[in-house]
Structure 1
Amino acid sequence: MGNQAGPASVEDQARKLARVHRALKTLSAGNHTLLHASDEQALLNDMCRIIGESGGYQRAAVGYAEHDQEKTIRWMGTVGTDIRFLESVHLTWSDTPSGRSVAGTAIRTGKPYVGQHILTDPAYAAPAYDPLREAAIKKGVTSVTAFPLRIDGEVIGALVIGAAEPDAFDEEEVQLLSELADDLAYGIANLRIREKHRDAEATIARLAYYDALTGLPNRTFLLERLEESMQEAKQHHHALALLHLYVGRFHEINKVLGYRSGNQLLQELGRRLKLAVKENETLAHAGEAEFALLLPAASAEHAIQRAQRLTTILHDPVAVSGLMVDASVNIGIALFPGHATTPEALLRRANAAMREARPTHDGYAMYTGGQEEQHARRLALMGDLRHAIEHDQLLLYCQPKVDMASRRVCGAEALVRWQHPVHGMILPSDFIPLAEQAGLITPLTDWVLESAFSQSYAWHEAGLDWPLAINLSAHDLRDPDLVERIRGLFSTWGIGPELIQFELTESALMEDPASAMETLTDLKQLGTRLYVDDFGTGYSSLSYLQKLPVDYIKIDQSFVMPMTVSNDSAVIVHSTIELGHNLDMKIVAEGVESQAHWDSLAALGCDVAQGYHIGKPMPTAQFRNWETGWA
């Protein structure tokens, strides 16, 4: 128009200031809305409303860019026009006539599209936009502008604003409204991050209190519920009962048919049990092959009746891998307050009663307190274990680890086995608790350390530099002399720190975090590689995990084995791999039992695999022959 003096220029300036003022009011109200937003859809609706109410604009709409074949714009919120009307026009953000609206252009170009007059704007010249023009004129809209909504560099949609003035949206107003659009995009991104955090917290809660395989509450949940129920029972002066169920054929099925079959068995039994549980009762997967049922107000007679009903429910064979399998479930019963007054003690005594139960004798047993013979046997086994450690009668086994990218052997985990002269091979899950009770953990750890260093030296002398990983317990981490003994072993055998690694369970690390951090730091200074074992089964926070001087995370087999059939487990494994890589750690997957597991983990970028698909635990003397066959 050129520069003009007089009243006309004053009026122009006044109109310009008025437009800037309404944009500032809209920006301020929009920021207030962002501060209180808790839901994405509500935020979009409120922002459109504020643009109309606080800013006095005739129209506001938010559209999201769909990445379908037509590149549709999905309208999320509007003011001043009906959302169904916008949907009926079929606007897109493609580079076609239907995609040249202000919204489509802003999304496609990633820049604001300023429309000075809807009747003369070429974006609305095509006949397809006649309905939009007519609707705008009816609503008193003569100019429309669209601003891209950008999150992490990607345009997710557009904010469209319509005004009554044909010459609206000058440079100052557009600048302020662009800031509003950027703030809205930030608010959307923030709400989505918060939603992801809520999902992550829900996943962590499931990990902490629920079993991934059966979907049932786990042992931790059970103990907490037991504590609550015992307090309530005390207040109301009534008893409660705990039934402990053991699946006798689980380990046999695992050995003969594989872990997947064992998992199928547990899932089917869990399903049957859930159908039999009443609303006020708590059913939990209390251990590998164990279930527990809490009856919050029950007498001995009622508990026996429930045990009888459960044995009937679980009596029918279970279809596993095309076979009908008898689960052989034993049930132990313990009562509060008669048998125990703490959750741990009640669970132990229900477990003790369960071990007395026999399928041929109704399949259940009540705790009686007369397990002296079993106690005596355990004491005898403790003495035998001490003798086995002192006279070097234990066996060193190892289970291989394989680099998934190259399929080359990258080390092994050192494992201890006990071949009892009378009772045969005793599982570590049986004799390690004995060692803990008998104060033999330190001598047992020393035996494993000596044997592993000796074996590593023998391999090194044979030209085989396979690292051996040694498991350390929570007790070991509290041992003030542990690091010095390990330092002495390196000096004695003269092998490099790269040949010895250490694995520590997540639960062991969390038992005494400060002491664990100190021990890990000292071990790391020796030059060794460190693993967090059984990851996902403990309660470590991400802030604590990132501080640990560890090199590898081992995903627990309870998540890996069901990942090919359970989407929840697959999501957990995928998230753990991403988490570890983001923390510059490598990932080891335990429980790789099949080619399907291998393929799934390889697709997710897992670094190292360990499990029966690669190799079972074996005597160290057999490892070289196995490695030759694997290669």
Structure 2
Amino acid sequence: MQLTRMLTKKLISFWMMSLAAVAFVFLLSALMSFVQLTYRFQQQKVAELETMLVNHYQHQSSWDLDTWLPPMLLAYNAVSFRLTQGDELVFEYQGNLGSDQRVLYERTLYGNDAIQMRLELPRPFSAHRLGWRELMILLVGIVAVAGFVRFGFLWFSAELEGIEALAQRSKLILDGKLDEAAKTPGNGKPRLINRALSRLLAELADAHKERARFDKFIRSNTFLDPQTRIGNRLFLQNRLNALSSDQGMLAPGVLYLLEMEDLDILQQEAGDEVVLELLHSTINAINLVLQTQANSIFARRSHNQLAIVVPQISLVEADALADKLLKICLAQPLPKIEEADNFFHLGGAYFKEGDMPEPLLDEADMALRAAQLQGASGWFMYDKGAVDQEFAKGSVRWRSFLENALVNRNFVTFTQPVCEGDGSQHHHEIFTRVRDPMGSLVRATLFIPMAVKCGLMPQIERQVVERTLFELMSDTGNATRHYSINLSVDSLTSRAFVRWLQTTLLEYRHLASRLVFEVTEDMVMKHRSQLESKLNMLRKMGSRICVDHVGQQVVSTQYIRELGFNFIKLHRSVVRQIDLRPENQLFVRSLIGSLYRTDVQVFAEGVGSFEEWQTLLILGVSAGQGSYFGDPQQT
């Protein structure tokens, strides 16, 4: 663009200078022509005088020179005149006009003993002064020329400005800023090309939206139940795998199985519409309850069975939630069928950290059978055994523990590399743990849910940002290393935290470009209107933004373009054993295809094996993170 603008200015300047030069040459030529014409006129008068003198001597005129020559010389405004024949002076005239600018004419008149004529005349215009009329005519001519030059300059500038607008719009398209190019059509000329660009950009935007809808359609048919539009059996299996590792479950929680007894009989007696209406009303009511449970999973396991997984919940809360879910189900209007009070049964299996995921569904099935054996609609929890003592701490004790940790700065940071295909490190993600009074480290999966309940996430994440900026990034050994920091919705909706973060990034502008701020996809979808301005602020400060946990739920990817994310991270449930799961490969291929012609890079988290990484590289993933590249290291 800068080159185009420079060329435009040079072209306009050249055109204006050329036009001004032409006007100047024209005026100069006219002036010189007029001067030469006056000299020619004076020479013609001298030639006439010479002819008259020759005729005088040849025809022996009776007129004496003293009679007719002085009046003629006076009419010529002659300064002096001298006529000699040999050494003899024949006639001499001295005028009254004194002029320093003279023109001397010396002529030899042949045929009469070499008569010599010497005539001095004043230069043309030497005694002439321009009058006001002449000055006015000259001024009008100059103004007219300047006006035409100015008009031509403005017209030419306007025409080239249209071409420059086209060039600027084309530059935006080449830079991938299609939305900005579509929103600023400008006054590009030729207008036909500008309108063609606008139409093509509009059609491209529609194609992108259609691609996003198609991408969502593919994922919907892969992971969603076609009737209820919640997760299917494959979706449930993927999410359970994501909540676990080789060492077992990553956090405590509960798995519920909700079965609707005799749903097949109800379908035969009342029809499909009644069954679908009952399913939709029940699912909508359960969804309202699950909105308060972060990272909950809801899926349809079979025709008459729903599965609910709620991580990071205590046993007491799991019992209360089971009772609430059953009451919601019993509140649904049922058609008149036999044993209507024995229609809903809920079985739950509570798991704690380290439990293996394979037996969970069997335990939940056994709990469901136990609930059915009770003879009426009810719920049953499979295991009320030991619960993680750390997780069972009360809210008051957790608040006191976390506040002391904030005061004593007991939060410890860990970093895990995100590696590209060639093995180089793209950036390091920051993880946080907190040291308890016994010196042990408490994982984020334990203290973050309680920190959210206590409203302490902004203070915790402020310490993480400070430690990253002032310690890790200021270390000369990490002068070129980039870091990513996770931000919660509580922090980004806190005016005090956002104001502090903006001031800090302005103060450390040279470090802001090395920071990547991560937000979860679920958070973006639920709080988009609140987060959009904050994410734009982070991007304007020079930092980059990333959305992680992509693929945990089925949503349109159009938000990635509209919010201007730089990176996305695939959820570990999509990545795990992707080399053995064609449906997950289809999801990743569709996702990357929807981001075609954007600068968004796709990363994968939870990469645990060489086979997974090679499959991801083939699909087009740019970088990976997980145990395959290295476990988190304390800083």
More relative contact order, 1 or 2 (CA 8 Å, 6+ apart): 2
| TM-score of the superposed pair, with normalisation by structure 1 | 0.46
| TM-score of the superposed pair, with normalisation by structure 2 | 0.46
Higher Cα radius of gyration: 2
